[in-house]
Amino acid sequence: MSSKPKIDDALREKIIAQPDVILDDQDLMQALIAANERAMGGNIVDLRGIAMERLESRFDRLEDTHRSVIAAAYENLAGTNQVHRAILRMLDPMEFEVFLRDLGGPVADTLRVDCMKLVLESVQNDDEPAVQRLGDVLSVAEPGFIADYLTQGRNIPLRQVTLRQMHEGAPEIYGDKAGWIRSEACLKLDFGTGRLPGMLVMGSEDPHQFTPQQGTDLLAFFAGVFERSMRRWLS
């Protein structure tokens, strides 16, 4: 009498009637393959089994890549929608002071940044009443400050968008919030011929919100819209 257990007749008939149930079950197929390898013994090399393992490994890597691509696509779409909402909110105000105040409020909230500052270079001091009223979002610096801040004293080209991480923010930019800032996006602004440059700074407590490895297309687009809005106000 054979010592091997006999499969239940009902189960055997069900498998014969629906073989796809087994073929579609990855764990069950792997168990059958493993049992087949044990039955062949250690002295036999199953080339087909090796090929299947490699194919499975490649398929798993392909699935991981597919998930990563889909996640990146959703993230890019969400970022695009976020920037578009912020731009629409930025274009709503009909008064310049409200326009600037909204940067540190609804616009910053939409972009999910903890601080937003507009830096304008000027030969005048920052004692003007308008600057004092808008001190939470606006600061005035001497000519050349923006280039020095963006390059940090290094001999490198000025980029429109600079993303970087930091131990803490610059007090001359963030004021009392400087100690909480861990990453920032700096948008260099061109207000036209005959005008000194400006800079829009977005600071975050999250050290990973802005890193040099990230793309800058959306922020460059935001900077372009902001430049054009400012030119209208300044004119």
Question: In the chain, where are the structural domains located?
Answer: 94-234
Helix (H), strand (E) counts: the chain: 10, 5
Given CATH 2.40.160.60, say whether it is the number of domain 94-234. Answer: no
pLDDT tens sequence across 129-149: 656 677 688 888 899 999 999
- Strands 115-121 and 138-141: what pairing? parallel
Distance, in Å, from the CA atom of 53 to the CA atom of 61, rounded to the nearest integer, reads 12
* Confidence band, pLDDT 50/70/90 cuts, at residue 80: confident
pLDDT at residue 76 above 80? no
Q: Work out the end-to-end distance of the chain between its first and last CA atoms, rounded to an integer number of angstroms.
A: 101
Tokens of 4: 């091997």
* Confidence band, pLDDT 50/70/90 cuts, at residue 1: very low
E strand residue ranges, 52-126 = 115-121
Distance, in Å, from the CA atom of 94 to the CA atom of 75, rounded to the nearest integer, reads 32
Query: Virtual CA dihedral for 89, 177, 117, 152, nearest 10 degrees?
Result: -140
Report pLDDT for 4.
57
* Confidence band, pLDDT 50/70/90 cuts, at residue 28: confident
Distance, in Å, from the CA atom of 226 to the CA atom of 100, rounded to the nearest integer, reads 11
As a whole number, mean pLDDT of residues 54-78 equals: 75
Q: Which amino acid is at 223?
A: A
Angle at the Cα of 139 (from 138 to 140), degrees rounded to 5? 130
pLDDT tens sequence across 83-124: 999 999 999 988 888 888 899 899 999 999 999 999 999 887
Neighbours of 44 (CB within 10 A): 9
pLDDT tens sequence across 148-196: 999 987 888 889 999 999 999 999 999 889 999 999 999 999 998 888 9
| Proportion of the chain above pLDDT 90, given as a percent | 39
Report pLDDT for 156.
83
Scanning 152-216, the segments in alpha helix (DSSP H) are 171-174
- Total-model pTM: 0.67
Tokens of 181: 């800032």
Residues 158 and 186: beta-carbon distance below 8 Å:
no
pLDDT at residue 66 above 90? no
The 8-class DSSP code of residue 103 comes to I
